[in-house]
Amino acid sequence: MTVQTERPPARPTEDTQRADGGPHPRGARRRPAALAPYLLLLPAVVATLLLLGWPLVKNGMLSFQNLNMRQLIQHLTEWNGVDNYTEVLGSSDFWRVTGRSLLFTATNVVLIMVLGTLTGLLLARLGRRMRVTLLIALVLAWAMPVIAATTVYQWLFAQRYGVVNWLLDRAGFHSMADYNWTGDQLSTFFVITVLIVWQSIPFVAINLYAATTTIPKELYEAAALDGAGAWQGFTSVTLPFLRPFLYATTFLEVIWVFKAFAQVFAINQGGPDRLTEILPVYAYIEGIGNQHFGMGSAIALLTIVILLAMTSLHLRIVLKQGEDEL
């Protein structure tokens, strides 16, 4: 998960604001200048529409087609109305996977936010040397490429010679000495969850710590003068100050975990017995794996709708925070 790429360091500057007010200094060249910004944006917009917009439209179109292996090979286009949707929405599989996805996302996000926040607050409390050490450790975990990390976790949780099983055996759980973690639904999810939480905590912790450094010390002093203890100082100063940040981050994490295709797929391909498929993996396995491209597209579209709803909620929060920056 390349978490860092999703949060632009938008810098508020006087320049942008001044660009908004006041007339253009070179009025004589107004006409060509008026077109310039659109021309400058044109290539990027065209590329985005073509390579992001078109696949989305295509996905919508495919979801109304009967498109299996036969139609694929013979290049047939068979429209079948809303058949795919009635089939998907009527199948208990879809609802089971959706419920599983929501539960999976909720579990992960709660763990990430709670542990990440605690780690961030801990960073603020540590002495300088220990803090830098922990920051470096967090960055190391953050930077680890997703697929490299999944491979390492497969090794950590390996049935034979895996460190985790050895540790459990040593701790007295002798039945775990040769435990097959990917042989069971819950234990596979356990491995995936540990992996995702491990990868996501650094982002939350480091940014939360950075946010706490911007809280003015005077606020705590004022609270202390009013007789607030450590806990009250936390609830009346720290928490309100961090609230917008926590909201925005929670939504980001919800979106990322909900579409965590790479981790889930690379650990066990959605197995055992398709029991760890979450929605993106389910769409892939139905669509590409089982070559029911129409059905897969319908599942994908429903997933995209859920994701878009979450994205719009997230952007509402972000835009409210930074309205002056636009």
User: Which residues inside 235-254 make contact with another protein, applying CB under 8 A?
Assistant: 242, 244-245, 248
Residue from 228, 307, 313, 317 that binds another protein (CB under 8 A)?
307
Per CB under 8 A, which region of 91-99, 103-111, 184-192, 305-313 contacts another protein?
A: 305-313
Nearer to another protein by Cβ, of 143 and 275: the residue is 143
Q: What is the DSSP letter of 183?
A: G
User: In Å, how far are 152, 169, 224, 232, 270 from 191, measured between CA atoms?
Assistant: 11, 17, 44, 37, 13
Q: Is residue 16 within the footprint of another protein (CB under 8 A)? A: yes
DSSP 195-254: HHHHHHHHHHHHHHHHHHTTS-HHHHHHHHHTT--HHHHIIIIIHHHHHHHHHHHHHHHH
Here the tokens at position 283 are 């769409």
Per CB under 8 A, 211 contacts another protein? yes
Establish whether the linkage from the previous residue to 145 is cis, with ω within 30° of 0.
no
Number of C-beta neighbours around residue 145 at 10 A? 12
Is residue 273 a contact point for another protein (CB under 8 A)?
Answer: no
| Site stretch for another protein (CB under 8 A), options 53-61, 81-89, 98-106, 179-187 | 53-61
Distance CA 237, CA 240 (A): 6
Q: Contact between 317 and another protein (CB under 8 A)? A: no
> Can residue 315 be called a binding residue for another protein (CB under 8 A)?
yes
Tell me if 41 contacts another protein by CB under 8 A: yes
One residue of 66, 207, 250, 276 binding another protein per CB under 8 A: 207
Stretch of 84-92, 96-104, 179-187, 302-310 contacting another protein, by CB under 8 A: 302-310
Three-class SS state of 96: helix
Binding mask 133-152 for another protein (x = CB under 8 A): xx-xxxxxxxxxxxxxxxxx
Out of 28, 40, 186, 225, the only residue in the binding site for another protein (CB under 8 A) is 40
Buried b (16+ CB within 10 A) or exposed e, 168-177: beeeeeeebe
Candidates 93-101, 183-191, 231-239, 311-319: pick the segment binding another protein (CB under 8 A).
Answer: 311-319
Helix (H/G/I), strand (E/B), else coil: 171: coil
